[in-house]
């Protein structure tokens, strides 16, 4: 199947990228095959498509994709694929079922009936799932041809959130309309309403990904309590913790009324601990609005933030004396400390990208996090969190807020011709440069002594002699290309500092 299927996909993709007709000759060339094969491929695609032809042809012009049909075709294709689960998907779906019903046992035959697999596969699946669940301190129990997941409610919810992939890809704005996600539509509407209720009650907005996190929490709460209305939440909140929550009046009130609304929607009472649970999610979320200021930071938050900034500064060798990163980071650290304490994990969907793009910063952050968690006696700081923190430092480095300007000499033959012009142009576009002087190239030696701390020479003329200072030849036009090269040079200099 491989190459042929591949060719069909390639052909469709190629046509989908072209607005206009494409000749059979061009298609043959693209696929490195004969025109005859192209005709055959197109006939096959059109024969297999559900309704009319997917690819339309016109004499003398060639072939074109019927775009609307193509999109439908892709959708139906996907649906077909969905019935065909990979082993990994199969196990995830089974775990989902078990987690939502936990601690209720479910018959093995019933669980696996949709997947047409044999005993040995089931046995192997059990082992793999059991391993997976260990990460969440949960146990997969087999008893009389049934399976059940046992463990603390906190851990069960955590596992649900991470195993069910749907929670990692949701986009709050997209939820109402996205059919593919398979959420219960009514639940979605009710929860979105609750999110608004929370935001209004606290007079704040909850940014991504925290809004998704709270959404998931509430959605799981609904699913759990419906699947297993009698589940007993054995964990108890200590008196002390309840007291301190009640002191935080605004958050407590909002959590309480939200849970109350959920009870009404479910038409079922929820245990008192749900209020505390939601409360923890709220204080662990970053809020934008009235609360976003330094005045509300505890000394612990300030200390942890400072530790990050100091340690990072020595590790990546930069000088951070900027107040804005402190405020930004501290407002992230504050809810993070709460998340750590209450074992709430915010999935960082950008994590793999962050790791690749900011490899160096990420590994430094990881190191610092280990140091910080030891120093401040915190639970281990996971990679999702490290990823978020990385972004704060990456942003700072990229906008080079921390850097001193680069001392720059500008040079041409006379020192008043193209160099003055260049100075005016460069000054506007590159605030990173501090232009110390504009000089004539023949006085090079004298200036080298006069400005011994010069970091960059920008010249419109070629410099013959060997100079130990970074030097960039640009045209007096200061074209886009010149600007790009200068940008690169600036980055190099910043990097070497």
Nearer to other proteins, 424 or 467 (CB): 424
* Least distance (Å) between residue 469 CB and other proteins: 18
Whichever of 234 and 428 has its CB closer to other proteins, that residue is 428
User: According to CB under 8 A, which residues from 36 to 65 bind other proteins?
Assistant: none
Interaction between residue 412 and other proteins (CB under 8 A): yes
Q: Which two tokens stand for residue 404?
A: 């001193």
| Nearer to other proteins among residue 151 and residue 415 (C-beta) | 415
Two tokens at 350? Answer: 């950008």
Q: Which residues contact 303 (CB under 8 A, 6 or more apart)?
A: 376
Alpha-carbon torsion, ordered 172, 175, 178, 183, to 10 deg: 130
Residues 6+ apart with CB under 8 A from 139: 130, 133, 149, 150, 151
Of 196-204, 223-231, 408-416, 484-492, the segment contacting other proteins by CB under 8 A is 408-416
Tokens in use for 126?
């059990």
User: Which is closer to other proteins, CB of 399 or CB of 445?
Assistant: 445
Q: How far apart are CA 147 and CA 319, in angstroms?
A: 57
Residues numbered 413 to 472 that lie near other proteins (CB under 8 A) are 413-418, 420-421, 423-425, 428, 438, 440-441, 459-462
Among 107, 290, 353, 475, binds other proteins (CB under 8 A): 475
Least Å distance, CB 444 to other proteins, is 13
- CB of 452: closest distance to other proteins in angstroms? 23
The nearer residue to other proteins, 335 or 415, going by C-beta atoms, is 415
> How many chain residues bind other proteins (CB under 8 A)?
24
Find the binder of other proteins among 121, 350, 472, 473 (CB under 8 A): 473
Length of the chain (residues): 497
Nearer to other proteins, 325 or 438 (CB): 438
Rounded Cα distance, 383 and 422, in Å: 46
- Nearest distance in Å: CB 447, other proteins: 15
Shortest separation between residue 345's beta carbon and other proteins, angstroms? 53
Stretch that binds other proteins, among 91-99, 117-125, 286-294, 412-420 (CB under 8 A): 412-420
Tell the smallest beta-carbon distance from residue 77 to other proteins (Å). Answer: 51
Return the sign of the alpha-carbon dihedral for residues 238, 216, 266, 283. Answer: positive
* Nearest to other proteins of 284, 408 (CB atom): 408
Q: E strands, 126-215, where? A: 139-143, 146-150, 204-205
Distance CA 335, CA 280 (A): 10
Contact by Cβ (8 Å): 347, 380: no
Listed in sequence order, the residues at least 6 apart from 272 whose beta carbon sits closer than 8 Å to its beta carbon are: 237
Cα–Cα dist 289/291, whole Å: 6
Quote the tokens at residue 331.
Answer: 């407002």
**List of residues contacting other proteins (CB under 8 A):** 412-418, 420-421, 423-425, 428, 438, 440-441, 459-462, 473, 475-477
């Amino acid at each position: 199947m491989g190459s042929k299927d591949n060719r069909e996909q390639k052909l469709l993709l190629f046509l989908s990228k072209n607005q206009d007709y494409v000749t059979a000759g061009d298609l043959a060339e693209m696929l490195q095959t004969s025109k005859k094969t192209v005709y055959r491929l197109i006939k096959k695609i059109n024969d297999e498509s559900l309704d009319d032809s997917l690819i339309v042809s016109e004499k003398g012009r060639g072939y074109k994709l019927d775009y609307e049909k193509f999109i439908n075709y892709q959708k139906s294709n996907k649906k077909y694929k969905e019935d065909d689960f990979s082993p990994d998907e199969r196990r995830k779906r089974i775990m989902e079922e078990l987690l939502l019903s936990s601690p209720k046992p479910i018959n093995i035959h019933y669980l696996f009936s949709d997947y047409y697999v044999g005993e040995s596969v089931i046995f192997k699946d059990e082992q793999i799932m059991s391993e997976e669940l260990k990460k969440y301190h949960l146990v997969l129990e087999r008893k009389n041809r049934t399976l059940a997941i046992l463990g603390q409610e906190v851990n069960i919810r955590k596992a649900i959130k991470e195993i069910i992939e749907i929670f990692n890809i949701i986009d709050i704005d997209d939820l109402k309309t996205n059919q593919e996600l398979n959420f219960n539509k009514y639940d979605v509407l009710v929860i979105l309403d609750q999110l608004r209720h929370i935001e209004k009650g606290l007079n704040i907005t909850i940014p991504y990904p925290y809004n998704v996190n709270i959404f998931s929490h509430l959605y799981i709460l609904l699913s759990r309590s419906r699947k297993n209305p009698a589940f007993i939440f054995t964990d108890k909140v200590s008196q002390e913790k309840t007291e301190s929550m009640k002191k935080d009046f605004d958050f407590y009130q909002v959590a309480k009324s939200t849970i109350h609304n959920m009870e009404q929607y479910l038409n079922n009472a929820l245990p008192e601990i749900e209020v505390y649970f939601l409360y923890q999610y709220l204080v662990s979320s970053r809020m934008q609005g009235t609360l976003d200021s330094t005045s509300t930071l505890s000394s612990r938050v300030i200390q942890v933030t400072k530790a990050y900034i100091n340690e990072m500064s020595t590790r990546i060798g930069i000088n951070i004396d900027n107040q804005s990163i402190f405020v930004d980071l501290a407002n992230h650290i504050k809810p993070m400390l709460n998340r750590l304490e209450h074992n709430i994990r915010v999935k960082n969907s950008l994590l793999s990208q962050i790791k690749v793009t900011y490899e160096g910063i990420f590994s430094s952050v990881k190191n610092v996090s280990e140091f910080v968690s030891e120093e401040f006696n915190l639970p281990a700081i996971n990679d999702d969190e490290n990823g978020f923190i990385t972004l704060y430092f990456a942003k700072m480095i990229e906008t080079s807020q921390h850097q001193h300007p680069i001392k720059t000499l500008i040079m041409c033959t006379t020192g008043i011709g193209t160099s003055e012009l260049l100075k005016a142009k460069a000054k506007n576009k590159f605030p990173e440069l501090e232009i110390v002087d504009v000089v004539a190239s023949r006085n090079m030696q004298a200036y080298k002594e006069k400005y011994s701390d010069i970091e960059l020479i920008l010249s419109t003329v070629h410099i013959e002699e060997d100079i130990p200072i970074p030097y960039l030849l640009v045209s007096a036009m200061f074209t886009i290309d010149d600007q790009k090269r200068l940008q690169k040079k600036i980055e190099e200099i910043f990097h070497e500092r």
